[in-house]
Amino acid sequence: MAEAAQVWIVDDDRSVRFVLAAALGEAGFRVTAFADAGEVLDALASGRAPDLLLTDVRMPGDSGLVLLDKLKAQRPRLPVIVMSAHTDVASTAGAFRGGAQEFLSKPFDMDEAVALVRRALPEQSIERAALPAVSPPEPAQALIGQAPAMRELFRAIGRLAQVPLSVLITGETGTGKELVARALHRESPRASRPFVALNTAAIPAELLESELFGHEAGAFTGAHKRHIGRFEQADGGTLFLDEIGDMPAALQTRLLRVLAEGEFFRVGGRELIRVDVRVVAATHQPLEALVEQGRFRADLLHRLDVVRLRLPPLRQRREDIPQLAARFLAHAARKLGVPAKTLSAPALERLRAHAWPGNVRELENVCWRLAALAPGDTIGAADLALAFPDAVATDVTATPADWTQALADWARERLAAGATDLHAQAREQLDRSLLETALERCGGHRGDAAALLGLSRNTVTRKLGSSRKRR
Ligand SMILES: Nc1ncnc2c1ncn2[C@@H]1O[C@H](COP(=O)(O)OP(=O)(O)OP(=O)(O)O)[C@@H](O)[C@H]1O
C-alpha cells in the first residue's frame, strides 16, 4: 500500500498550524505540526523525517531561517518552504539563500499553499500523496513516450542531466517542453535546489528585466520593495526560460552578458550578485530564422543551444496516444472524484486519427472533458463530440490540415494548368488511399476495412473493383 507524503509544519501560531494541517490533510498528505524549531530538531534526532517541511520565520527560539540552516546541514535534499508575513529582503532573500525551495507570503490562500507543497515535493512523494492506496503507482508529471523519438529523448535527458551544459528544447506548443526541463532538473545533481520557470512571452517587456534580475526598492516608479529575480531564486538550481524567442532585444544582450559572466546587478542595484544557475531555454519558433531576420542574437543562440533536444509533435508519435489518454483519463477521474472511464477501440482510433495542433496539452484537455462529460464507463466514438466543442474540431476525423493544404495546392496547380477532371481524379486517389490503408491495417480483411471506414462491405468491394480497373 502506497503511503501518503509526510509534511511537517512549524509555526508558533496555533491557528496557522490548524488551517494548514486541515488543508494539507484534505489534499491527501500526512501532516505533523510543531510549535517551534526545537521540537522539529528533536523529532529529527529521534529518527523521524518528513518529505517536505513548511516553516514560519519569526518564532520563539530558533527562527525559521536558523532551522533551515540546520536542516540543510543534516538533510540537504529536504524541500523546505519558508512562510512569512515579512516579505522583506532579510526574510525572502535569506530564505532562498539558505536553500528554501519556495517562499510563501502570509496571509496565503489555502489552495495556493497546497499547490506550492505539491510543486515543491519530489515527484515520488507527490505520487504517494495524490494517489488513493488502491491506484496503481503513476507519477503525476512523468514523461510518457514509447515512440522511438521519445525513447531517444529520455536517454538524452539521462545523459544531459549530469552535465551542466545549456540545453535548448524545441517543439510545437504543448509538446512537453517544460516537462523535459523539469526532468533535466530532477535527474541532475541540482535536484534539491530550486527549479524556477519563466515564460518570456507571458510577461510584459518592461517588467521582464526586473523579473529576471530583481530590483532594489525605488529602482523605478512602483518598486516599493526589493524584489529578488528569478536568477537569484534559481541559485544552485535550474532556470527554465520558456518562449525565449520572444525576449526583447535589449534583454537578450543583458542575458548574454549574465550567462557569460555569471554575475549581475539587480535593477537599480550596486551589489554585484553572483549565481550558479543552469539555464534551460525553450522555444516553439525557429530561432535560426529569427536570427536571420535580426530578431534574435546569434551569439545568444549559440550560448543557449549547446545541446538541442527536439520534441516531436504528437501527430508524429501517434503510438503514444493510447497510453497518454489512459493516463490523463485516470488522472482526471481521480481529481474530479468520478469513476474512471476507458476509451472504446473506435474512439481511440479516432483520437489517433486527429491532427492534434495543440499536441499533448490538447489531448490532456480532451481527456479531462471526456472524464467529466461522457455518460458511460466506456467512451464511444460518438462521445468525442463532447470533447471537441467547436465546429471545426467536432469531427475528430476531419481532414488533417496538412493534407487538405496539400490537396488545395495540387488543385490550384492543376487548375492553372487547365485541367477539367479534378474531382474524379481526386476522388479516385482518395478512395484508393483510404482503402489501401484500411486493408493494410486489417491484414486484407474487406469486412473489417469497411467497418473501419464506415462503409458497407459491398461499397468497398465495388470501389476496389473500379479502382483496380482504372489502374
Ligand atoms: N510526454 C508526456 N507525458 C505526459 N504528459 C505530457 C507529456 N508531454 C506533455 N505532457 C503534458 O502536457 C501538458 C503540456 O506540456 P508542457 O507545458 O510541458 O508543454 P510545452 O511544450 O512547454 O508547452 P508551451 O510551448 O505551450 O509552453 C502538460 O500538462 C504536461 O504535463
Which residue lies with its CA nearest to atom 12 of ligand 1?
361
Report d(CA 243, CA 265) in Å as an integer.
Answer: 24
Could you identify the residue written with the cell 534580475?
213
Could you identify the residue written with the cell 520572444?
246
Atom of ligand 1 nearest to the CA of 181: 18
3-state class (DSSP) for residue 393:
helix
What does the pLDDT read at residue 80?
92
What does the pLDDT read at residue 389?
60
Report d(CA 277, CA 42) in Å as an integer.
Answer: 34
Here the cell at position 177 is: 517542453
Write phi, then psi, for 308 (nearest 5 degrees): -115, 135
Q: What angle do CA 240, 70, 226 make, to 5 degrees?
A: 50
Atom of ligand 1 nearest to the CA of 364: 12
Distance 141 CA to ligand 1 centre (A): 9
Ligand 1 close to Cβ of residue 362 (< 6 A): no
Q: What is the pTM of this model?
A: 0.59
Distance 407 CA to ligand 1 centre (A): 31
Torsion angle (degrees, nearest 10) of CA 94, 95, 100, 104: -150
ipTM of the complex: 0.97
3-state class (DSSP) for residue 325:
helix
Measuring CA to CA, how many Å separate 211 from each of 2, 63, 242, 352? 40, 28, 14, 41
> Which of 175, 184, 198 to mutate to test ligand 1, by most ligand atoms within 8 A of the CB atom?
175
DSSP state of 215: B
What does the pLDDT read at residue 316?
94
What does the pLDDT read at residue 409?
64
What does the pLDDT read at residue 168?
97
Contact between residue 143 and residue 179 where contact means Cβ atoms under 8 Å apart: yes
| Start-to-end CA span in the chain (Å) | 63
Distance 178 CA to ligand 1 centre (A): 6
Q: How far is CA 116 from the centre of its chain?
A: 15
**Structural domains of the chain, ranges and CATH numbers in brackets:** 6-130 (3.40.50.2300), 148-312 (3.40.50.300), 316-394 (1.10.8.60), 401-470 (1.10.10.60)
What does the pLDDT read at residue 437?
79
Ligand 1 close to Cβ of residue 284 (< 6 A): yes
Distance 180 CA to ligand 1 centre (A): 8
What parts of the chain have a pLDDT lower than 70?
1-3, 87-93, 123-141, 389-406, 409, 466-471
Measuring CA to CA, how many Å separate 54 from each of 7, 95, 124, 152, 355? 8, 12, 18, 38, 44
